[in-house]
Structure 1
Amino acid sequence: MAESKQQLSYMLKRLGEKVLVLQFPQELTKEITVQIQFYHDLFKSHPLEGILQVIPAMNTLSIRYNPLIIKETAIEEFLKSNQSNEKMEDFGSPKKIYVPIIFGGKYSPDLKEVSEILKIKEEKIIDEIVGQEFYVYLNGFIAGFPYMGEINSDLSLPRKKVPRLQVPAGSVAIANNMCTIYTVESPGGWNLIGWTPMNIFDFSVSPPNRVNVGDYICYKLITSTEAENWDENMQKEWDQQWNQ
């Protein structure tokens, strides 16, 4: 993420007596994502007594603190002392992660409907998804759920009016100008167009996120036989070939 060399401004807002919010411009940009992640990691690597929680979002960073231990002015001074372009330039180590994907039939329950709504052939939708790199702007909603963008404008469509009660883990979905992968089975209203057997969030390992903010995701097609028989050995072979 060394591409972010321009210092962006934020507004510091008070939310009650125990929360400060860094409010960045209401835009979807890599530069804003870098800064939010930078300050989030800064508080983790340089813990201040009295800071209880630091919560990143798409355009904000919320800092929850104990006012009996640390004053708002001390937090402000800490932030100001770290507003350095030089520190930002070399921050982060983005990865390109290749994710196996399959389309069609049971793997793409909404692909036909998406094709009809957008008046784009299914094959073209698949080609556009597979032919694009997706930037991870945020992990949230459910465990490790990546908000990735941006999809090409011709594929932009809203979430479903009636969400599903159960979306299978591994479902690849689109909504508005974003793409995602459902990390666990959960309710959801995104449009399901594909599926991956790759586990991108694993509670049994630390850290559990395989995909992190600032990474790039690329999809590569696999066959139905590969999808049905995917196991740890196949994942290991995949990583050796694509994710070294």
Structure 2
Amino acid sequence: MSEVLIIGGSGAIATALIHHYGANGKGVTALSRQLRPGWAEGMNWLNWHSVDEQDTTALEAVLAQCFSSSPALIYLCQGWLHSDQMLPEKAISQLTEVQLQQALTVNLFSPARYLQLMMPYLFKLAAVKVLVLSAKVGSITDNQLGGWYSYRASKAALNMLVKTASIELKRRNKTATLVTVHPGTTASDLSAPFQANVPAGQLQHPANTARRLADVAAVVQPEQSGLLLNWDGQVLPF
């Protein structure tokens, strides 16, 4: 029986979450476009589903299987910031439709698709908790530096998506919790080009990020649904 469902299971934070919960005796199910990784060999407590989210029939079938075990905790870990060809924009003159579309596809459209298909299950699951990984730079109020146009815009849109979905969910299931969470700057491929600029002590190992997210998940309550939370559980402004 899987108690934790992790969507976007191949990323650094998602991988760390899988290890964290497995080490603490939890059954875990992970969904990813990637095949089951070699490091998961012998992990009998880990169910891994490789699925193309654009294949609606296949995705619906996988989700039905996942929710047959009534997971108590769900993480959506999709995220994209850059590629070798597309770095975060420093000026609006660098903004392209291609880069904006890529950011929206991964950071907004993908979690939106999963939330849409999961919602009928979430309506019925008592005390279920859903944590969607977002970013502090998606806060409009907190933005004092500018730049990173497509990433900021996609994460701000994600925060609004989750806020709106949380209202619908609360009407049908008052015991459910749905929030966005800023995991903090984590050593990963996503942050690799920018780690040199991170103040000393702020760059976190993925295992530490996973532990902090698990701490937030353990204490978050239904009345906090719709909020954007920091890695320490504090509320961040929209």
Please tell me whether Structure 1 or Structure 2 has the larger radius of gyration of its CA atoms: 1
TM-score normalised to the size of structure 2?
A: 0.25
Report which of the two has the higher share of helix: 2
TM-score normalised to the size of structure 1?
A: 0.25
Report which of the two has the higher share of strand: 1
